[in-house]
Amino acid sequence: QFSGRIMGEINLEESVAQPFPAALKQVYHNMSFEQKAAVHGLCCKHMPGIVMPLLFMSGEISPVEYAKGLIALRIKSKEQFSQILADTAKVQSWLDCGLHRHRTEKKIAGIIKEGEGDTIEFKSTLRWDIRAGKTNPAIEHACLKTISAFLNSWGGTLLIGVRDDGSIEGIETDRLPNEDKFLLHIWTLIRTCLGKDFTPYIRTRLEKVSDKTVCMVSCRPSTRPVFLKQPGFTEEMYIRVGPSSNAMDISEALKYIEDHYQ
């Protein structure tokens, strides 16, 4: 049954309860969703039965061994060797993309699980006031406060598109035309309100989480004090105090600069 050629869905639940089939069944069930999909794809593409795709996807044989195996079993001809390798390369590339997404989601999930604190903060949006249903410079100001406070303190990570409770809002709510426009908007704010000199300390990355997009803003500690100068707001210096970004008066700022940047 396992070595038969399978045209449609693979049903391992109906296999006979023998040691070898049971082992294959266990290997299959231990695979990720993406690996299982790849096994199905190889079965439909090459018609090799279940054993060879399982061995390949579990890492027991290399792409070359997989191709040679299909030829040795007379499932494919020698002339098809290069095409088989090309097919396996596509499968591996697709799996690598899925693995990257999984790792990124896992990393963001880990940050969210850790919760807001000295070096982590969540913002639902960059510019959109969800309650008022329109853009609001105060929302932008809140994000810039966090970034400037991270720069003036120990660094940190701002996740835009994540609500206070850790659920995913997504930057789609900001209603910018596309992801490029979103990045252009946030970097324009950073350059004009914080200063071009501080851009080397900041990195942004957009990642898909639960079919929504989250912007991860990673900040390193700056070697010089950073002041937030946004039109319509008072120029101030912010630092992290626990899970919040606090403004400093002139005397506090002077003392902090003297102690922190010397």
Q: What is the pLDDT of residues 143-189, one digit of tens each?
A: 999 999 999 998 889 999 999 999 999 999 999 999 999 999 999 99
Residue 9 pLDDT: 38
Angle in degrees, CA 197, 199, 203, rounded to 5:
165
Average pLDDT of the residues of the chain:
85
Residue 167 to residue 210: CA distance in whole angstroms: 10
Q: Which residues of 49-58 are buried (b: 16+ CB within 10 A; e: fewer)?
A: bbebbbbbbe
- The more confidently predicted of residues 129 and 98 is 129
Residue 19 pLDDT: 57
Cβ count near 137 (within 10 Å): 15
pLDDT, tens digit, 9 for 90 and up, residues 15-62: 444 555 677 777 787 777 777 888 888 888 898 888 888 888 877 787
What does the pLDDT average to over 118-131? 96
Closest to 119 measured CA to CA, from 223, 243, 6, 18? 243
**Which tokens in the block code for residue 240?**
């992290």
Residue 13 pLDDT: 47
- The more confidently predicted of residues 97 and 178 is 178
Residue 211 pLDDT: 87
Residue 162 to residue 251: CA distance in whole angstroms: 35
**Which tokens in the block code for residue 25?**
């069944």
Strand partners, 206: 215
- The more confidently predicted of residues 200 and 169 is 169
Whether the per-residue pLDDT at 238 is higher than 70: the answer is yes
Please tell me whether the overall predicted TM-score, pTM, comes out greater than 0.75 for this model: no
Closest to 202 measured CA to CA, from 230, 179, 183? 183
Residue 140 to residue 137: CA distance in whole angstroms: 5
Residue 98 pLDDT: 54
Range picked from 75-89, 110-124, 172-186, 199-213 for highest mean pLDDT: 172-186
- The more confidently predicted of residues 137 and 57 is 137
Those residues with Cβ within 8 angstroms of residue 211's Cβ, 6 or more apart along the chain or in another chain: none
Q: At what angle do helices 137-152 and 179-193 cross, to 10 degrees?
A: 60
